[in-house]
């Protein structure tokens, strides 16, 4: 599928988002698409002031930010407490919060400006079960209130999944999971991480998928690590 030419706001954009999401296994309601539209508008307004994303085409926002963020939903248990590390523009945490109101989601980012953006979006679309905090991962790990407090820790804003997973393990409950959203993945790196963290990690699943547009057909992966 080639990227269509779309405008935000528009019924065509909302329909495109719904159809593309459904093709990836995430069915959205009319209310969901309206919230995503408000989110996209806020993203474009704020992006003129601060650098949140290089992706500003309406169709690309729908697929590369929103639909991609919804892919992990199938691997997150019901009523889970979720920590999104390095959430930047709110991805994947805010899209997951729109699609899954059963989740309790905490967004963590070290940039005050981006956290302010996240909070503005959350106020605008009234997403009370999602919160944003300004902090580095190393700071969060040292806080007792966060240690072993989350069913799922997820991130897509990093270069090495091994590095952040090793840091994040203390934040995950026993039998919880860590989810890394990555592009290319080296299977050797997964095996080495599993061996290095054998005392804490039980099993690791690698899930391959492709976003349904021609400009984003490169393989993407979820690395899902289950804590002992």
Give tens-digit pLDDT for 144-190. Answer: 999 999 999 999 976 688 889 999 999 999 999 999 999 888 889 89
- Please give the Cα distance from 33 to 23 (Å, whole number): 15
Please measure the distance between the N-terminal and C-terminal CA atoms of the chain and give it in whole angstroms.
41
How high is the pLDDT of residue 217? Answer: 56
- Whether the CB-CB separation of 98 and 42 falls below 8 Å is answered with no
Domain ranges across the chain: 72-227
Summary mean pLDDT of the chain = 94
pLDDT of residue 212: 82
Both tokens assigned to 209 = 């998928």
Among 212, 223, 113, which Cα is nearest to 158's?
A: 223
pLDDT at site 187: 86
Which of these, 155, 131, 15, lies nearest to 72 by C-alpha position?
155
Contact 66/21 with Cβ under 8 angstroms? Answer: yes
CA 70 to chain centre: 7
- In contact, 86 and 160? CB cutoff 8 Å: no
Count Cβ atoms within 10 A of the Cβ of residue 113 and give its class: 0-12 exposed, 13-18 middle, 19 or more buried: middle
pLDDT value at position 202? 95
Q: Is the pLDDT of residue 214 over 80?
A: no
Residue 216 clears pLDDT 60, i.e. is over it:
no
The mean pLDDT value for 24-35 works out to 97
Helix (H) or strand (E) holding 94: helix 93-99
Peptide linkage before 9 cis (omega within 30 of 0): yes
pLDDT band at 2 (very low <50, low <70, confident <90, very high): low
Tens-digit pLDDT profile for residues 58-90: 999 999 999 999 999 999 999 999 999 999 999
CB neighbours of residue 194 within 10 Å:
15
Evaluate if residue 215 carries a pLDDT over 90.
Answer: no
Selected from 3.10.50.30, 3.40.430.10, 3.40.50.150, 3.10.20.600, the CATH number assigned to the domain covering 72-227 reads 3.40.50.150
Report whether 176 contacts 150 (CB < 8 A): yes
Check whether 129 has a pLDDT greater than 80. yes
Closest CA to 19 of 208, 213, 183: 213
Q: Is the dihedral of CA 90, 52, 33, 219 positive or negative?
A: negative
């Amino acid at each position: 599928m080639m990227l269509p030419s779309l405008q935000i706001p528009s019924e065509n954009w909302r329909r495109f988002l719904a159809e593309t999401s459904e093709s990836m296994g995430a069915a959205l309601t009319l209310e969901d698409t309206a919230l995503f539209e408000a989110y996209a508008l806020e993203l474009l307004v704020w992006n003129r002031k601060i650098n949140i994303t290089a992706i500003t085409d309406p169709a690309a926002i729908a697929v590369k930010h929103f639909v991609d963020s919804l892919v992990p939903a199938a691997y997150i248990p019901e009523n889970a407490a979720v920590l999104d590390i390095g959430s930047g523009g709110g991805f994947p945490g805010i899209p997951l919060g729109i699609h899954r109101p059963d989740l309790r989601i905490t967004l963590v980012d070290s940039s005050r400006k981006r956290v302010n953006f996240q909070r503005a979006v959350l106020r605008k679309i009234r997403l009370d079960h999602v919160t944003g905090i300004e902090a580095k991962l190393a700071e969060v790990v040292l806080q007792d209130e966060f240690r072993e407090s989350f069913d799922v820790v997820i991130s897509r804003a990093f270069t090495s999944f091994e590095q952040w997973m090793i840091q994040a393990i203390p934040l995950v409950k026993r039998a919880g999971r860590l989810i890394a959203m990555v592009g290319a993945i080296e299977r050797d790196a997964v095996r080495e991480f599993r061996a290095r963290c054998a005392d804490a990690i039980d099993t690791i699943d690698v899930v391959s998928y492709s976003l349904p547009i021609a400009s984003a057909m490169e393989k993407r992966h979820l690395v899902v690590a289950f804590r002992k």
